[in-house]
Structure 1
Amino acid sequence: MKSFKIIAVLACLIFIAACARKPKTVLLSDTAVLHENENQLTQVIIYDMFTPPVASRIYTYTSLASYEAMRYADPKYNSLITQLKGFATPPEPQKGKNYNYALAATKAFFTVAHKVTFSIDTLKKYENKVYAMYKDNLDDSTYARSVDFGEQIGNLILKRANVDNYLQTRAKPKYLGEETPAKWRPTPPDYLDGIEFCWGTMKQFAG
Structure 2
Amino acid sequence: MKKVSVYMPGFFACLMVCWIALSCNQANKKLPEDYELATAWADLTNFIAMTTPANSPTFASRCLGYIGLTMYESVVPGYPGAQSVATQLNGLGALPQPEKGLSYNWQLALNAGQAEILRSIYIQTSDQNKAKIDSLEQAFKTIYAEQAKDNAIVERSVAYGKNIAQLIFEWSKTDGGHRAYLRNFDKQLVFAEKPGSWKPPLFAQSFSHFPLHPHWGRNRTFLAVDSAIEPPVFIPYDTTPGSAYYQQFKQVYEKRKILTQDEKEAAIWWSDDPDVTFTPPGHSYYLATIAIRKTKPDLLKAAETYARMGMAVADAFRNCWKWKFEFFTERANTFVPQHIDEHWESFWPDPPFPAFPSGHAIQAGAAATVLTSLYGDHFEFTDSAHVGRPKDEIRDTEFKARHFNSFWEAAEETAMSRFYGGIHIPQDNERGLEKGKIIGNNVNGLHWNK
Give the shorter-chain TM-score range: 0.7 to 0.9
Equivalent pair of 2:107/2:144 in contact (CA under 8 Å): no
Q: Residues of 1 paired with 2:57 and 2:66: CA distance?
A: 14
Q: Give the structure 1 partner of residue 69 of structure 2.
A: 64
Q: Alignment partner for residue 173 of structure 1, among 173, 186, 190?
A: 186
Counterparts of 1:125-164 in structure 2, within 5 Å, are 125-138=135-148, 139-164=150-175
| 1:77 and 2:87 aligned | no
Aligned counterpart, 2:213: 196
- Hey, what's the Cα distance between the residues in 1 that align with 2:151 and 2:179? 42
- Whole-Å separation in 1 of the counterparts to 2:205 and 2:62: 25
**Within 5 Å, which residues of 2 pair with 1:97-112?**
97-112=102-117
1:157 maps to a residue whose letter is I
C-alpha change, 1:161 and 1:144, in structure 2 (3 Å) is same
- TM-score scaled by structure 1? 0.80
Shift, 1:55, TM fit? 0.9
Aligned residue type for 1:128: Q
Q: Tell me, which stretches of 5 or more residues in structure 1 are unaligned?
A: 1-21
Kept in 2, the 8 Å contact 1:44–1:122? The answer is: no
| CA-CA distance at 1:136 after TM superposition | 2.3
Cα separation, partners in 2 of 1:61 and 1:159, compared to 1, 3 Å: same
Question: When the two structures are superposed, what TM-score results if normalisation uses the length of structure 2?
Answer: 0.39
Separation in 2, partners of 1:123, 1:53: 23
What's the counterpart of residue 53 of structure 1?
A: 58
Indicate if the aligned counterparts of 1:112 and 1:158 stay in contact, CA closer than 8 A.
yes
1:10-42 Cα offsets, whole Å, 9 max, x none, are xxxxxxxxxxxx966322122110111111111
How many Å separate the matches in 2 of 1:186 and 1:152? 44
Pair 1:177–1:145, CA change in 2 (3 A):
same
Q: Which residue of 2 aligns with 1:4?
A: none
Q: 1:197 to 1:26 in 2, by over 3 A?
A: same
Secondary structure of the corresponding residue to residue 166 of structure 1: coil
Offset from partner CA, 1:64-103 (integer Å, 9 cap, x none): 1110111122111111111001213211111221111121
Q: Secondary structure of 2:67's match?
A: helix
Which shows bigger deviation, 33-42 or 130-139? 130-139
Aligned CA distance change for structure 1 residues 32 and 180 (closer, same or farther; 3 Å): same
Letter in 2 for 1:27: L
Mark the CA change 1:183 to 1:45 in structure 2 (over 3 Å): closer, same or farther.
same
Match of 2:91 in 1: 86
Moved over 6 A (4+): none
Say if 1:54 and 1:122 are closer, same or farther in 2 by CA, change over 3 A.
same
Q: Is the 8 A contact 1:176 1:186 kept in 2?
A: no
1:107 counterpart letter in structure 2: A
DSSP 3-state at the match of 2:94: coil
Letter in 1 for 2:70: A
Letter in 2 for 1:158: F
2:74 is paired with a residue whose SS is helix
Q: 2 CA distance for matches of 1:77 and 1:188?
A: 52
1:165, 1:107 → 2: CA distance? 26
| Separation in structure 2 between the aligned mates of residue 40 and residue 168 of structure 1, nearest angstrom | 20
Identity of counterpart residues, as a percentage? 24
Distance 2:70 2:120 in 1: 13
Does the 8 A contact of 1:99 with 1:146 survive in 2?
yes
Structure-2 separation of matches of 1:116 and 1:83: 22
Tell me, yes or no, if the aligned pair for 1:177 and 1:186 is still in contact at 8 Å.
Answer: no
2:186–2:214 Cα contact (<8 Å) kept: no
Change (3 A) 1:23 1:115: closer
Q: Secondary structure at 1:124's aligned position in 2?
A: helix
Counterpart CA distance in 2 for 1:164 and 1:32 is 31
Which structure's CA Rg is the greater one?
1
Aligned CA distance change for structure 1 residues 188 and 26 (closer, same or farther; 3 Å): farther
Which range moved further: 166-175 or 58-67? 166-175
The answer as to whether partners of 1:179 and 1:185 remain within 8 angstroms in 2 is no
Give the 3 Å change call, closer, same or farther, for CA 100–176 of structure 1 in structure 2: farther
Number of equivalent positions: 186
Report if the CA contact (8 A) 1:24-1:136 is conserved. Answer: no
